[in-house]
Amino acid sequence: MTTAVKNENTVLKVILAILLPPLAVYMDKGVGTQFLLNIVLTLVGFWIIGIIHALLVVL
């Protein structure tokens, strides 16, 4: 994968992490513990905690 494609994917994942945190984690890690944890954090943490977790996973 070239550097330009990686940068585009990272930008897309950061935007998704802000708008739809579980989707960004799913795109990066697939279905697993990080994905399930993000769903719980997003629902319980009133979205902000889910966004923070998704950004940590994606970046």
Model confidence over 5-52: pLDDT tens digits? Answer: 677 788 999 999 999 999 999 999 999 999 999 999 999 988 999 999
pLDDT of residue 38: 96
Q: Euclidean distance between the first and final Cα of the chain, in Å?
A: 17
b/e burial code for range 20-42 (CB count within 10 A of at least 16 → b): bbbebbbbbeeeeebbeebeebb
Spatial distance between the Cα atoms of 6 and 18, rounded to a whole number of angstroms: 19
Question: Rounded to two decimals, what is the model's pTM?
Answer: 0.88
